[in-house]
Structures are given as C-alpha cells and as structure tokens.
C-alpha cells in the first residue's frame, strides 16, 4: 500500500530530524553499536592478565589462592568470548576499522606536530 503525500512528508521530516540528532547518530553508528561490547571485552582481557599474575603469585603462597586466580582468569576468558560472539564478525570488522582509523589519525597528528617544531 503506497504512502500518501502527507505520510511521505512526515517520514521525510522524521528522517531529517534523526540525521540532525548527533547524539543519536553516534549511538547507532557502527562504532556506537559495538562500543560497549568492545570495552567490556578489553577490560575482561585486562582481568585475564591480572588474574594470571594472581595465579602465579598465589602458587608461591597457597594452592587455594592460585586456584581462585585461575577461576577468575577462566571467568574473564568466558566474558571475552561472550562479548566477541555478541559483536559477531561484522562488529569485529567495524571495531577493527575504527581502530585503524584512530591509529591513522594519531599518526597524522604526530606528523603535524613534528613538522611544526
């Protein structure tokens, strides 16, 4: 069923308003959709490293402390796996592209500041 002229105008106005809303545009952009999952996976990765250190140090104190460190490392690894699955292949590609873009921007800024000196 085709839209009437009035409905088309309303739809065009809604689209225009959504495009103008910068906060909304960032939230639904490819970077915004996966930002939370990427941040959670990154912090869980930090947790893996920290719990590995706890496991190694715990072996010198008592095996139960090392076991707690191992369980924490396992929990963090499961969180990373769950977040990466949530982001899926498309999300991982978007995150990697945004990281490449930020590295390129950082490189441009370094070049700019070294030329100005």
pLDDT for 85-106, tens place per residue? 887 766 667 777 777 777 777 7
Which of 11-20, 58-67, 79-88 is least confident?
A: 11-20
Q: How far is CA 114 from CA 17, 82, 101, 105, in A?
A: 42, 42, 20, 14
Record the pTM.
Answer: 0.55
CB atoms within 10 A of CB 65: 15
Question: Residue 42 and residue 35: Cα distance in Å, rounded?
Answer: 10
Q: Which tokens go with 71?
A: 């369980």
């Amino acid at each position: 069923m085709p839209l009437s002229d009035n409905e088309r105008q309303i739809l065009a106005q809604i689209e225009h308003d959504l495009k103008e809303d910068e906060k909304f545009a960032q939230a639904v952009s490819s970077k915004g959709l996966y930002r939370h999952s990427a941040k959670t996976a990154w912090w869980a990765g930090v947790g893996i490293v920290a719990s590995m250190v706890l496991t190694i140090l715990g072996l010198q104190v008592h095996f139960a402390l090392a076991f707690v460190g191992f369980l924490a490392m396992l929990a963090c690894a499961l969180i990373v796996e769950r977040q990466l699955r949530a982001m899926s292949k498309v999300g991982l590609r978007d995150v990697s592209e945004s990281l490449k873009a930020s590295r390129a921007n950082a490189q441009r800024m370094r070049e700019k500041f070294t030329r100005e000196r």
